[in-house]
Structure 1
């Protein structure tokens, strides 16, 4: 809550008020606030109490946006990474419509922003995703009268994160060092999201695997520690905390966030020509394909890496087609060979 906002619980109900310098000789007037911090009127009342020119009209899109941002930051159901992505994307919305009446907005306005972002489809799709979430939240609270994104389509995605080739994996294993190499090993042999890989530690080991609840989906998974990973882990010191800790400088020994580890990996990757264009998320795809080729079902892979079944099938589609094609080629080659084989004829033995 902003400085000066206080929460009081009485007889099972919570109340809010604003007072500068509470408990001091210079305490300001006590201003009662609305009881629901999810409402735009709550934040408007705070601005009024702070003397910020009466605050924004509670009907403006900016006020609705303030309420939504407060909701996602306090709900406890959305990951920090998603919140950061939404906040950055919704700055575009605030710039475009902050002072306009929220109930006057329509999908055509969202489409106009999407059109302006056509040159950066990834940024446009992130904006649309954030607007969809905001629209759903605002619609059921009667802040808007219609969905703001109905009929608005995202830009077609490219081929996405590509799996690493054997040559790229070999280059990473031989040329990366320290914590960056260790992180690549974890990504490769667990298939976990970055937000989960940076949290893994010895305390997550349970009966030959990693047992944890995924950060994004809040799903319980058990990921087996394959022999290749076990051999790597045998060289790691056993200590509390995650496997991946920052090395050197003032942050030495500090925990990594997914974003910071990705940044440090990119710095190291750019110094190795063989790794040009690879992404850490591509290792998630690589791990899924490896599990599929080992004979695991889609459901089994989902239980291991905490990924939805449609996403697993999407990641495996090329590998499955390639394997099927190779099997077909083997069958065709065998069939052709059998057709060209001459049948031995029985003949009488001359005496």
Structure 2
């Protein structure tokens, strides 16, 4: 059994690839390397360099490797930047998902795990987000992920009476951090952990973007979940789909315990041993005050667990980044 991981040379995708291999599932990677790194793909894993907007390339890849299903991780994942680049965001997240689904139909592949986002909820006014909460995305990124879920839903409805209906699930998560392999680390210029790491390595002072949010310490509160836990949930979802077992249309991979940016900064200083007082900067467009999700359904069906403390999240991410120096 083999599964295609779109974006498998990226930070999250590369962890999914390793988790699949550890579970005895043969991974195949397609990535255009716009943000991924060929060196993140383990030796021996088939790697196709190309865009998932290329339907013919996708169909060829699916058929050549006798793919059982797709774990669709590739996408443009930056909520703040999506406000200024909405068309690019829709191309990479909506157009590309449509092409992936068309290629799957052409190649006779009927299982897909979609990397969605807690950004589909926007700025909820509840303490804990559950899957049935109304979807009110606050950025083009969140909107694009919600549309991706709709595409999966509609294709499943359209193929429901066919010999091989589309089976799918979407995994919604927000801030993925840490590392489960010292060879893979987050290289995003927009995510909090790598931003802080790069500042500290350069001898600079990290910055908090906005200290006037409606939260206890004024900095925004998020779910921070470890990439190793995220990857493991993708694998269990793929296994359930391939086995014909029941899955929900969507799962939150939430921590149930939000952390503020200031709390993260405190952990950064504590774990790295580099004391600093963060600078204060302006808010980023599209950032809600708080979003913290439950993981109850995922715990029930996908063996979802939060196995790492905040200090362990920082430590594993920091060690992986330093290993690349």
TM-score normalised by L of structure 1: 0.20
Higher relative strand content: 2
Larger of the two Rg values belongs to structure: 1
TM-score normalised by L of structure 2: 0.21
Higher relative helix content: 1
Higher relative contact order (CA 8 A, sep 6+): 2
